[in-house]
């Protein structure tokens, strides 16, 4: 479906006098490093496709939320806005659907669109002064124990504040966009996209006092694994590497934002209602009447 839609869109825009470039979203899939394999000690902007440049008007992304997360790594460093057209399942980040393509093309050619910016993070794995692994993040960074190992301990330093110790199966550091993803499943609050904050959420904490913490996105976060076993770090569900006791993870707000094309005013609460069922009225049914 995505390939057929890509062909149709390329033809329509070329006919209107636009130059069309194509690339696969797989270029934004950093992948998972093996424990013994070499790590990619290169900068986060290495995912930008060779045929992309800052002068591109927009990137049309066809796929599900995973494709959008991958495309964000390819477009954010050069400031190209993305129009997400859902061909997947949830489509939480999508702006339009395949059956709306004709209307979408008409609006785009007429210039009837705007851009919404979303916070992204730079996640860097460090050992001493050496950058061992780095990637862009739109949703969250999760650092957790491996299967069949015990609970882990983390020392987390947020900006100028005193470090905190967390005993849990893992921790999640998320953006407002990521507050409706893994962090939500772990009990964190939903944060509207325009709020300039980050969220730290423990996963299965071994304390009644360990709860999600929301703080300014101007604060860099450093996580020190205070446990003798290796840990697994997963970023946006599609990239990751092992973290050893001598490593540390640095998370900072990226100077580049993910830029989303909006064809109409974006109503976040409506998206929550449609995708996650938030705020739906509870209507009791008379006895014997099916729902």
* Annotated catalytic residue 65: yes
Do 165 and 127 touch, CB atoms closer than 8 A? no
Determine the Cα–Cα distance for residues 142 and 202; give it in Å rounded to an integer. Answer: 10
Helix, strand or coil, per DSSP, at residue 63:
strand
Helix (H, G, I), strand (E, B) or coil at 280: coil
DSSP string, 107-153: HHHTT--EEEEE--EEEEEEETTEEEEEEEESSEEEEEPPTT---EE
**Catalytic residue among 45, 65, 165, 169, which?**
65
40 phi/psi in degrees, rounded to 5: -85, 90
**Which of 122, 16, 13 minimizes the C-alpha distance to 58?**
13
Q: Which pair of tokens denotes residue 245?
A: 């006791």
CA distance 220 to 223: 10
> What is d(CA 139, CA 284) in angstroms, rounded to the nearest whole number?
36
> How far is the C-alpha of 174 from the C-alpha of 30, rounded, in Å?
19
Residue 99: phi and psi, rounded to 5, are -70, -10
Q: Are residues 133 and 100 in contact, defined by beta-carbon separation less than 8 angstroms?
A: no
The residues annotated as belonging to the active site are 65
């Amino acid at each position: 479906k995505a390939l057929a839609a890509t062909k149709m869109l390329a033809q329509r825009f070329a006919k209107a006098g636009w130059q069309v470039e194509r690339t696969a979203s797989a270029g934004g899939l950093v992948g998972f490093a093996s424990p013994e394999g070499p790590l990619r000690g290169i900068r986060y902007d290495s995912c930008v496709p060779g045929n992309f440049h800052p002068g591109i008007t927009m990137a049309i992304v066809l796929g599900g939320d995973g494709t959008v997360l991958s495309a964000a790594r390819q477009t954010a460093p050069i400031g190209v806005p993305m129009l997400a057209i859902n061909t997947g399942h949830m489509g939480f980040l999508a702006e339009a659907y395949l059956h709306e393509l004709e209307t979408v093309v008409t609006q785009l050619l007429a210039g009837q669109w705007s851009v919404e910016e979303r916070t992204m993070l730079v996640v860097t794995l460090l050992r001493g002064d050496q950058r061992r692994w780095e990637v862009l993040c739109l949703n969250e960074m999760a650092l957790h124990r491996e299967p069949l190992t015990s609970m882990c301990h983390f020392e987390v330093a947020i900006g100028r504040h005193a470090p905190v110790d967390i005993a849990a199966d893992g921790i999640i550091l998320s953006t407002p966009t990521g507050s409706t993803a893994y962090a939500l499943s772990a009990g964190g609050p939903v944060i509207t996209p325009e709020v300039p904050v980050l969220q730290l959420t423990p996963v299965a904490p071994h304390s009644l006092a360990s709860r999600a913490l929301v703080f300014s996105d101007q604060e860099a976060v450093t996580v020190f694994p205070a446990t003798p076993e290796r840990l697994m770090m997963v970023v946006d569900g599609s990239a990751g590497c092992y973290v050893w006791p001598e490593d540390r993870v640095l998370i900072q707000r990226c100077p580049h934002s993910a830029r989303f094309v909006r064809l109409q005013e974006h109503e976040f609460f409506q998206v929550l209602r449609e995708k996650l069922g938030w705020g739906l009225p509870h209507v009791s049914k008379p006895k014997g009447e099916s729902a």
